[in-house]
Amino acid sequence: MTIADIRPAMPPIGTAGADRRAPPAREGAHPRGDAIAAARRRLPMIEVDAATPLIANGPVTLLDAFEGRSQLYASYHMWHPGRPAADQCEGCTFNTGHVLELSYLHSRDVTFAVFCEGPFGEIDRYREFMGWEMPWYAVPEGSLDRIARGATSA
């Protein structure tokens, strides 16, 4: 058995549109999200340009962030440029702090990476200060929209 044998069926590739905006509108009014979550999973995938630029220790692309694996779990960390470690997003820090062992994900062909908007030097110092080993990437202006909404042009 291979990873491809157990991976769930993928929805068709589509375009960003009203169908992607409808679930958030329903979620606020719905106390239990099971049906809404199922509807969200059935939404069409959106193609994202693999050449979307990111910054690590120099310029890289979104494809590079996959590190040769077939799947990428990209966690978005809200960044406050120029602020000390204690003033960075508590929720993002809490969530990222729970991702300590990456070998389980790697054995399933998944790369976990953290994306932030902000200067890479600050972001990398914070990652080192916190003792995190997962890769972090600075997302330049214009790239976040391309990643989040599937836009293929800058």
CATH number, domain at 74? Answer: 3.40.30
Query: Percentage of the chain with pLDDT > 90?
Result: 56
What does the mean pLDDT of the chain come to? 84
pLDDT for res 6: 63
62: buried, middle or exposed (CB in 10 Å: 19+, 13-18, 0-12)?
Answer: buried
Domain count, the chain: 2
Mean pLDDT of 100-104: 93
Mean pLDDT of 87-109: 93
What range does the domain containing 11 cover?
1-47
68 and 110, same domain (yes or no): yes
pLDDT > 80? residue 14: no
Distance CA 70, CA 109 (A): 6
62 and 28, same domain (yes or no): no
84 and 102, same domain (yes or no): yes
69 and 101, same domain (yes or no): yes
pLDDT for res 75: 93
